[in-house]
Amino acid sequence: MECSSHHFDAIVVGAGIMGSSTAYQLAKRGQKTLLLEQFDFLHHRGSSHGESRTIRATYPEDYYCDMVMESLQMWEQAQSEVGYKVYFKAQQFDMSPSDNKSLRSVISSCEKNSIPYRVLDRQQVSDRFSGMINIPEDWFGVLTDVGGVIKPTKAVSMFQALAFQRGAVLRDNMEVKNVGKDEVRGGVNVGTANGEKFWGKKCVITAGAWARKLAKTVAGLELPIQALETTVCYWRIKEGKEAKFAIGSDFPTFASYGEPYVYGTPSLEFPGLIKIAVHGGYPCDPDRRPWGLGTSLDSLKEWIQGRFSGLVDDGGPVNTQSCMYSMTPDEDFVIDFLGGEFGKDVVIGGGFSGHGFKMAPVVGRVLADLVLSGEAKGVELKYFRIRRFQENPGGNVKDYEDQVNSFSNHK
């Protein structure tokens, strides 16, 4: 234990996108950093793998907008450092019934944060996208230039490479079993399943779907973070129309509010296929997940049939991939000190609720700030504090319920 190779300024537990971004931030600031991952690096058992995530600034909660805009700059900066692209630009198109409170709140948020946008009625949507997207008569759409696709596995690899270049130590297949306060030296002791022990001045827990279990084990803290298994679906574009739906064309990343809540990306990772999926999933134990579709796609098929003018085959997905969400009751993040006996020595980032990936650069920056100075500038952390659940079990109160509570038995 006294070996200096096992002593660090900061130990990051969990090497998905949030942990890898945090390790990069810490190493860049001269901290001797250790990044631990319980499985292989770039594994497919969590929330940070796959080929596409959307990026958008159209949030009804206006406190996310600045985080997205800062992250856009940080994605550009990181990929310029590493020498390859992980972020591909597109416009973002949101649509909903005319009485939908979420999309009305998006407009207010865009105005408050000076994000240029256009409101489109049914005919304007058809004209703008050359008949490729249709919405019902009583719907409307919001179009912005802040959108695009991030390549997730490639992005995680990017942050790990950049962290390594700056001196971070990366270790995979190192399941953390305990984190304890060091009563003699201060800081924390971290023990792994294979018997190795490490000491760090500070520790960051970014364990994704395993965050609840680890917080319970480490601090006896019951965080309301529920692991969900969700299914990403790819649908075949009708022959001859593939180029119209491809990234780099006029086709946007998109979201459809209401029931079902649908999102998707232009064709990128699989030529001729478009990603269209439902936001939500089934509660599960991340160590005993069903690994199955486990849901009816009838509502999604009907949605596709009604929106894409027969240009996308709605008979069924031709490819599906399983992924994990870590849902909080309000679908807001958990970014805070673990507290208790640890004081400010252990920081946790979790509960990213299926929409945090796009903000990973700024989350890593904030977690590193909390480690180094005990505070973070530029982000209103009151929305992400653990104590919000003590004040209200449902967390932050919102007036647009259709975007919250994605535990639906049809998703």
Report, as an integer, the average pLDDT of 378-391. Answer: 96
Residue 408 has a pLDDT of 41
Give me 82's structure tokens: 């590493």
Residue 331 has a pLDDT of 96
Residue 8 has a pLDDT of 98
Burial grade of 95 (CB within 10 A; 0-12, 13-18, 19 or more): buried
Q: How far is CA 63 from the centre of its chain?
A: 16
pLDDT surpassing 60 at residue 144: yes
Q: Which helix (H) or strand (E) holds 300?
A: helix 298-307
Give me 391's structure tokens: 């004040």
**pLDDT-derived band at 410, boundaries 50, 70, 90:** very low
Residue 279 has a pLDDT of 94
Task: Identify the DSSP state of 251.
Answer: P
pLDDT in tens, 26-48: 999 999 999 999 999 999 999 99
**Is residue 410 within 8 Å of 337, Cβ to Cβ?**
no
Residue 400 has a pLDDT of 76
Dist CA 224 CA 386 (whole Å): 9
Q: Which helix (H) or strand (E) holds 274?
A: strand 273-278
Dist CA 335 CA 324 (whole Å): 19
Cα four-point dihedral sign 171, 176, 182, 187: positive
pLDDT in tens, 304-335: 999 999 999 999 999 999 999 999 999 999 99
Are β-strands 139-150 and 53-56 bridged in parallel, bridged antiparallel, or unpaired?
antiparallel
Residue 294 has a pLDDT of 66
Residue 404 has a pLDDT of 46
Domain-by-domain residue ranges, the chain? 7-48+153-224+333-391, 89-150+226-327
Residue 402 has a pLDDT of 57
Residue 401 has a pLDDT of 55
**pLDDT-derived band at 4, boundaries 50, 70, 90:** confident
Dist CA 305 CA 40 (whole Å): 40
pLDDT over 70, % of the chain: 96
Are β-strands 169-171 and 33-36 bridged in parallel, bridged antiparallel, or unpaired?
parallel
CA–CA distances in Å: residue 214 to residues 180, 191, 217, 364: 12, 12, 5, 19
Q: Structure pTM?
A: 0.96
Q: What is the mean pLDDT of the chain?
A: 95
CATH 3.50.50.60 fits 7-48+153-224+333-391, yes or no: yes
**Is residue 105 within 8 Å of 60, Cβ to Cβ?**
yes
pLDDT surpassing 70 at residue 188: yes
Are β-strands 188-192 and 176-181 bridged in parallel, bridged antiparallel, or unpaired?
antiparallel
Residue 381 has a pLDDT of 97
Residue 3 has a pLDDT of 62
What residue type is assigned to position 261 of the chain? Y
Residue 411 has a pLDDT of 25
pLDDT in tens, 45-91: 999 999 999 999 999 999 999 999 999 999 999 999 999 999 999 99
Dist CA 276 CA 379 (whole Å): 31
The second-level CATH assignment, the architecture, of 89-150+226-327 is: 2-Layer Sandwich (3.30)
